[in-house]
Chains A and B, each alone.
Chain A
């Protein structure tokens, strides 16, 4: 147990990848930028400069294909517990991939791939359950899994089940997450923090009066109707998954070189999530969502109303609301108007730790 003694303290996090690098905040973006994307940029592809690739750090890549774009995205999924209120790892995998495509404007997924790593001893019934919910999620998204791969590893070599999915789609118009400019309005498609709070409550065995359920859902249908109604007014899109709304907005503001103001009182949140977050000392803006999108809309009130109406007409967008706007100001700054005053909206730093009192 004394292995720590004798090594200089305080630097291990820089030498090794730690859990903080997986929390979806700045640490993760730095790891990706400094290590995981290095070298690729120098290599040529037939698509040339027009490829929206790793450097864009967007939800997926877009490769020019005639007068359209081939959009491709890939995800790995590990989650504890594997089954949670509102979904399971299978539903999460399909929805995560479909949503990453949708956030690029590609709402018709041509097909998905699924690689599976299973731990020796994993119950068949659970695997069947995961399989069924993947099929169901594919049905909701109007796509299917077209190829896959399966590996089994020894006990303890992998935690239960790991899924990796890839999705492809073709679209004529790309929506990036960097398209904001002052004057644009920001819309969220529904209540925030449902997924992360439901998981945390389940993990810690906390029971609340109101049932907390993950919002995990495929958003391509919702996005399709919003894009159709908007007629080009949706200029930026991103889904606030890990790191929550805060990281999502920071990334959009950073890449767009603009300043964002959010009005807390109009951000939709269920009473259950609000109570649970207050009780656990967690900031709902930093908590993951798996069935929501943030959209930047350009144009007058009528243009914004048009997008809102389209969103609210869809079952997954009933609670959609305008939550803020882009303003002139320091690039990358995200301000929260609390109704009482103003402050910075902070990004998650490492794993959120419960407060003491």
Chain B
């Protein structure tokens, strides 16, 4: 066996061991029984968590008394209509727009980038921010990187901006910042959320200590967890323990990657390039400090200052009537689930999504459509 294969096997044994997973699921069941309430509602705020939960079929083994709500954790899904419109207008105006694959089909007011591409616009799918810069280096055309993602991917965008990109390269930032939206959910009237499972990869950047102020203010526990099946189950066990004991605090269950202070170098780059500003998250609310935008000193790479983006010409069509029926917002706020949506699986399917949650592989509706939600299989 090659060295790589041996390493692979060792890692899989450690974090993908079905026997250990069963033991954790049993522990979770016991804890829920001890807590004596049903349902106990906890929320994760990360599409990668939902993706992992669904992909490994964990919902089939979670206790019935435990409600794991998918929060606004998919950056693609919370990208607002006008942000998509900006990219569509740029593409229609002959600018090459480079973006992550997930962003292609996100509906704007009238069109998605895929529609624009179908009508002849240049839209390139890239795997990384670096690839977008390389695209710009290979051409004299204007290339705009339509950048989405939370603080994890925003760091990558910051790094390329600081790395002297070519003059024909600019960034249209739709980056979002997670901590403020947790405040919104915690303060929502009638919120059922008793604990948060925080995203391990974002915490790798920000550090776990960033959640301490939140816990103090809202008296809701936060557990930082990774993305292997054992990571998620162990994170849930710890979270329900904290809920049962009424001892709200931050616990780091992903210590192999996450430290209290996080990655200072990455934070430094992130905040040198970006500032937070308030803005609407699709379907959720106006989130104060929830959007990441380029600081003024980087206006030369900011597509919003480089180009005059006239959104109004897109507003010749009202959003379709179906859009009015979409409940993506309620689903991301944990108030509704895809199975209560009238459009889910009928008018709204991955091929022709009505709401953004059906587009991204991290969107709740897409994941439920793909993997079957709460299957009694």
Contact = CB atoms under 8 A, between A and B. Distances in A.
A338 B101 contact: no
B377 to A, nearest CB: 4
Interface string B56-96: 11111100000000000001100000000000000111100
A131 B360 CA distance: 42
A210 interface: yes
A9 to B, nearest CB: 5
Interface stretch (A80-88, A100-108, A344-352): A344-352
Nearest to A283: B55
A118 to B, nearest CB: 28
A356 interface: yes
B148 A339 contact: no
A125 interface: no
B361 A271 contact: no
Contacts of A338: 55-57
A46 interface: no
B160 to A, nearest CB: 15
A1 B92 contact: yes
Contacts of B351: 13, 20, 27, 349-350
A339 B15 CA distance: 13
A222 to B, nearest CB: 26
B7 to A, nearest CB: 9
A317 B16 CA distance: 28
Interface string A302-342: 00000000000000000000000000000000011111111
Interface string A202-234: 001000011000000000000000000000000
Interface residues of chain A: helix, strand, loop or mixed (majority): loop
A233 to B, nearest CB: 28
B274 to A, nearest CB: 17
B370 interface: yes
A71 B151 CA distance: 58
Contacts of B293: none
Interface stretch (B114-122, B190-198, B218-226, B255-263): B114-122
A318 B16 CA distance: 26
B204 to A, nearest CB: 12
Contact of A350 (B94, B102, B350): B350
Contacts of B8: 271, 274-275
A356 B372 contact: no
Contacts, number: 141
In which size bucket is the chain B interface?
35 or more
Contact of A1 (B93, B320, B375): B93
A6 interface: yes
B21 interface: yes
A20 B350 CA distance: 11
A6 B102 CA distance: 26
A37 to B, nearest CB: 21
Contacts of A66: none
Given A12-B118, A340-B229, A343-B55, A354 B375 contact: no
Given A5-B92, A355-B361, A341 B61 contact: yes
B365 interface: no
A123 interface: no
Given A5-B92, A12-B115, A354 B5 contact: no
B50 interface: no
A9 B111 contact: yes
Of A9, A12, A350, the most chain B CB neighbours within 10 A belong to A9
Interface of B: 2, 4-5, 8-9, 16, 18, 21, 48, 54-61, 75-76, 91-94, 100-105, 107, 110-111, 115-116, 118-121, 125, 127, 148-150, 152-153, 201, 229, 313-314, 316-317, 320, 349-352, 360-362, 369-372, 375, 377
Given A2-B92, A3-B119, A344-B377, 10 more contacts: A4-B92, A4-B115, A5-B92, A18-B118, A281-B361, A335-B377, A340-B18, A341-B61, A350-B350, A354-B101
Q: Which 9 A-B pairs have the closest CB atoms?
A: A341-B57, A353-B101, A4-B119, A344-B372, A341-B60, A343-B57, A356-B100, A346-B370, A349-B350
Interface of A: 1-6, 8-10, 12-13, 18, 20, 27, 204, 209-210, 265, 271, 274-275, 281, 335-344, 346, 349-350, 353-357
25 contacts: A2-B92, A5-B314, A5-B316, A209-B4, A210-B5, A271-B5, A335-B377, A341-B60, A342-B375, A343-B57, A344-B372, A344-B375, A346-B370, A346-B371, A349-B350, A353-B104, A354-B127, A355-B361, A356-B75, A356-B153, A356-B360, A357-B48, A357-B75, A357-B150, A357-B153
